[in-house]
């Protein structure tokens, strides 16, 4: 049973389109994250939600909108996709209140043409 | 500002040779420290972590890391590298709240036969 699962794993789309990536964790964690990994493998935090509340919102274009319907799910919606949005997006989760580690999904590779 | 530095972008070692990957951090206090590994096309997997106590920590796949407070370092080591260790390695730190993780830029490891 996958701990952190993301769908889709691959996404190829045209510039200007809108797309969503879904993430679910079955670890009972209270915090979920979206990270963006660029072509140089650099991992950048985008958003973090704790119990459905936004707690980290790094400098990300407002075309990116996270949504957390419950603490086990964190979805990422991207409007008006641009070439520079091409990257691998990782969902992760952790448990606060202690030195918990991050558990990562397998990533969603987004290619914008 | 907090930062995590991995000075080596790319390292090449021969199979069977020893390995050391460097990580330095800059924080006001001792954070929680982690090493993650990312195999091609995969998500990130935790190798080991340091919270407190013994400064030499053992991880999976034969890896170990040593925390040196005086040097603000948390270097990863393996006495004998296997071809399957070829991957991207990330050092990460977390603040005491446990829900803010910062990653280094990664070190790409190539293993030659």
CA distance B92 to B2: 11
Residues 6+ apart with CB under 8 A from A43: A35, A36, A37, A90, B90, B103, B106
Check whether domain B3-112 has CATH 3.40.50.20, yes or no: no
Q: Beta strands of A14-63 (E only): which ranges?
A: 19-25, 31-37, 43-50, 53-57
| Three-class DSSP category at B1 | coil
- Tell me which CATH homologous superfamily contains domain A4-112: Immunoglobulins (2.60.40.10)
For an interface test with B, the pick among A41, A56, A57, A103 (most B C-beta atoms closer than 10 Å) comes out as A41
Which residues of chain B are at the A interface, by a Cβ-Cβ cutoff of 8 Å? 32, 34, 36, 38, 42-46, 49, 51, 88, 90, 92, 94, 96-103, 105-106, 108
Q: How far are the Cα atoms of A90, A101, B5 from residue A106, in angstroms, in the given order?
A: 7, 16, 24
Q: Could you report the per-residue pLDDT of B3-35, keeping only the tens digit for each?
A: 899 999 999 999 999 999 999 998 877 789 999
| Three-class DSSP category at A5 | strand
| Residue A44: both structure tokens together | 């950048």
The answer, yes or no, to whether residue B98 has pLDDT greater than 60, is: no
State the CB neighbour count (10 A cutoff) for residue B17.
13
Q: Could you report the per-residue pLDDT of B34-93, keeping only the tens digit for each?
A: 999 999 888 999 999 998 889 999 999 999 999 999 999 999 999 999 999 999 999 999
What residues of B are in contact with residue A92 (Cβ under 8 Å)? 44
pLDDT at B1: 65
Q: Could you report the per-residue pLDDT of A43-68, keeping only the tens digit for each?
A: 999 999 988 888 877 778 999 999 99
Indicate the pairing of strand B107-112 with strand B10-14. parallel
Largest CA distance in chain A: 42
pLDDT along chain A (113 residues), means of 10: 90 97 94 93 90 81 93 96 96 81 94 97
């Amino acid at each position: 049973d996958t701990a952190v699962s993301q769908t889709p794993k691959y996404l190829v789309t045209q510039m200007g389109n809108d797309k969503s990536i879904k993430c679910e964790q079955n670890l009972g964690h209270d915090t979920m994250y979206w990270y963006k990994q660029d072509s140089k493998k650099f991992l950048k935090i985008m958003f973090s939600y704790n119990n459905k509340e936004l707690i980290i919102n790094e400098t990300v274009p407002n075309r990116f909108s996270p949504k957390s319907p419950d603490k086990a799910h964190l979805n990422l919606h991207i409007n008006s996709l641009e070439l520079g949005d091409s990257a691998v997006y990782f969902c992760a989760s952790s448990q606060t209140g202690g030195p918990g580690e991050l558990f990562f999904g397998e990533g969603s590779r987004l290619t914008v043409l | 500002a907090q930062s995590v530095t991995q000075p080596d972008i790319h390292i090449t070692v021969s199979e069977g040779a020893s390995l050391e990957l460097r990580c330095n951090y800059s924080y006001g206090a001792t954070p929680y420290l982690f090493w993650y590994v990312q195999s091609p096309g995969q998500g990130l997997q935790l190798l080991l972590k340091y919270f407190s106590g013994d400064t030499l920590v053992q991880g999976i796949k034969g890896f170990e890391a040593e925390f040196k407070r005086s040097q603000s370092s948390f270097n990863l080591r393996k006495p004998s590298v296997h071809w399957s260790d070829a991957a991207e390695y990330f050092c990460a730190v977390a603040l005491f709240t446990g829900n803010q993780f910062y990653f280094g830029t990664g070190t790409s490891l190539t293993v030659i036969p």
